[in-house]
Amino acid sequence: MATSLKLYVKTWCPWCVRAKAWLDEHGYKYDEIDVEADSKDYDEMIRLSGQRLTPTLVVGEKVLPDFGTEELIAFLTKHDIKP
């Protein structure tokens, strides 16, 4: 069974745009959650990550907050998360 990925974003955030593009280019499927569209989603992201910055990736119990592409690649590799 594939692991579910949740990507918390702000639509105007350049790091979010780059993270989505990288995931798309590499065949990852994820649920995109716009934290500005619903304050409950924003509160949930803060609860999970302990911070307010996007993008934030949640995979099961693993959380990668406030990251760039290099950190994303390292996180996915470290945890053997494949598309």
Predicted confidence at residue 2, as pLDDT, reads: 56
Domain residue spans of the chain: 5-78
CATH level 2 (architecture), domain 5-78: 3-Layer(aba) Sandwich (3.40)
pLDDT in tens, 14-63: 999 999 999 999 999 999 999 999 999 999 999 999 999 999 999 999 99
Measure the CA–CA gap between 15 and 7, rounded to whole angstroms: 12
Per the CB < 8 A criterion, the answer to whether 10 and 36 are in contact is yes
Q: CA 78: distance to chain centroid?
A: 15
Pick the closest to residue 59 from 40, 79, 43 (CA basis): 79
